[in-house]
A = this chain, B = another copy of it.
Amino acid sequence: MKVTADHLTKVGLELLQSAGVDPQEARLVARYLVAAEMRGVPTHGINLLPAILERIAAGQMKVPTELKVIADEQAILHIDGGNGFGQTAAAEGMSRCIDKARRFGIGLTLIRNTNNVGLLALYSLMAAGEGLIGVCACNGAASMAPWGGAEPFFGTNPFSIAAPGGEGDPVVLDMSTTVVARGKIRRAARLRERIPLGWALDAGGVPTDDPEEAIRGTLAPVGEYKGYGMAFFIDLVCGLLSGSRYSREVRTFHQPQGPTGVGVMVGAIDISRFMPLDHFSGLIDGHIRAIRGSAKAEGQERIYLPGEIEAERERLSRAQGVEIDTPVVKAIDGLAEIAGLSVRLEHGEVPE
């Protein structure tokens, strides 16, 4: 079912407010959840609402989010997220990084004790939208073993980097350090399909094509020891150095097992310290044209820039509505009913 982005935001906003989130923060969180849906990443979208409401009701997440600045010295900022919304913490952290980058050339914020931030690209894109390079990374609940290991130890620990795209959309990479997300393996298990060797390891640390074995085992790091190394260092900076939880101590957001203890890093680099932004824009425009015009692999009609598929999807979602799976619509509308709200997702359906 397709729903307009505005209606999706309105439903999210009302649900969050019904749980006691104040209007301003609810608007920010709803906007980030809907942006993920619009960019075609529903795992970071409104299907996070049930977990958010459950956590707030169980007192396992604190609203309104109270950020506490632990240190604010020259180019760095250290924030305690107060076990509140990851979106609030990451957006505030990036906003202040951008200021710092303008003053010092580069700015870095570490955030401890926060929660799921949703789609990382949204924070790195904040910087790109202001003419800076933005980066973002976070740790997460254990799902990957150290290379050579068999036990979940590191999260999928994703990171993102974005830059202005000249006349076009910004360019943005947003990737996890595992080959695939756990959701893809759960889906194969539901459909009773095999998974490709290389996605996951069984509980003995041996590559498996059985999704049930994979669920009991670990996700394979991208590029074997390389993905392990990336997950290790993202955890080290976002978790250990920020004073947050790290490795096996980070809890999943999806079950109410107490505070997640997620740690986040955001950073920004001021392009204009190295060349005028206009000059950078001209160079990146030419560079993008060269990439698009380069030889294509057999059967390929286009070469995409990092983030281009998501940007096109966002435009399409804005024009034609956001595709939401029926079970998600039912779950969200069920929550609205329980909350005594009259608003329903299905009321916002875009006619075919």
Contact = CB atoms under 8 A, between A and B. Distances in A.
A305 to B, nearest CB: 8
A229 B110 CA distance: 24
Interface in A282-318: 283-284, 287, 290-291, 294-298, 300, 302-306
B306 A233 contact: yes
Number of copies of this protein chain within its complex = 2
A175 to B, nearest CB: 5
A291 B146 contact: yes
User: Main SS of chain A's interface residues?
Assistant: mixed
Contacts of A228: 306
B274 A110 contact: yes
Interface stretch (A4-12, A148-156, A324-332): A148-156
A248 to B, nearest CB: 7
A78 B273 CA distance: 8
A242 interface: yes
Interface string A79-120: 000000000000000000000000111111010000000000
A149 B294 contact: yes
A222 B240 CA distance: 27
Contacts of A229: 173, 175, 306
Interface stretch (A30-38, A69-77, A250-258, A334-342): A69-77
Contacts of A78: 273-274
A73 B296 CA distance: 42
B232 A223 contact: no
Given A78-B273, A106-B107, A150-B296, 14 more contacts: A76-B104, A76-B270, A106-B108, A110-B274, A147-B304, A148-B296, A153-B291, A161-B233, A173-B230, A175-B223, A179-B223, A223-B227, A242-B274, A243-B274
